[in-house]
Amino acid sequence: MTLVIDASVAAKWVVSESDSDRADALFDNGPLIAPRLWLTETANVLWKYWRRGQLTANDVSERVRILAGLPIEPVDQHEVLSIAVGFATSLDHSVYDCMYLAAATARSAILVTADHSFVRVVEKSPFAAFIRSL
């Protein structure tokens, strides 16, 4: 089964957080894909760690380099952007998060996320079958 990962999962690969072990195990479950924005969003998460003094600038750079080398198949934003905008307006949720859901629906995959509030929103929609919590 193809899985879509988002920044909330990817950050767990390079920062020790709760459920980091579960995020690591996703590599054993089949191909992983993500909209191209995943790396930028994850870099932003790492930047927030830097702002809080939990990572150095070098740590952030090194971890972004590690993430960039992972076997994540990119999904072109043009393939899913219009779908994501439709989801965002119907779910009243950010286009950024809906890009991952759109990738899952477009590729008949499952979005795996640690964003529990997004999971709760999607679970109340017709797209519930395309998302699961990490």
pLDDT of residue 30: 87
Distances (CA, A) of 35 to 21, 29, 79: 23, 19, 9
Domains in the chain, CATH or no CATH each: 3-133 (3.40.50.1010)
| E-strand stretches of 47-101 | 72-75
pLDDT of residue 29: 87
d(CA 70, CA 4): 14
Spatial neighbors of 84 by CB under 8 A, at least 6 apart, are 95, 98, 99, 101, 102
Q: pTM for the full model? A: 0.94
Contact by Cβ (8 Å): 116, 133: yes
Query: How do beta strands 32-35 and 110-113 pair?
Result: unpaired
Contact by Cβ (8 Å): 104, 4: yes
Helix 38-51 to helix 57-68 angle (10° resolution) is: 160
Q: Identify residue 21 by its one-letter amino acid code.
A: D
User: Along the 134 residues of the chain, how does pLDDT read in single tens digits?
Assistant: 999 999 999 999 999 999 999 999 999 988 999 999 999 999 999 999 999 999 999 999 999 999 999 999 999 999 999 999 999 999 999 999 999 999 999 999 999 999 999 999 999 999 999 999 99
3 state SS of 86? helix
pLDDT of residue 1: 92
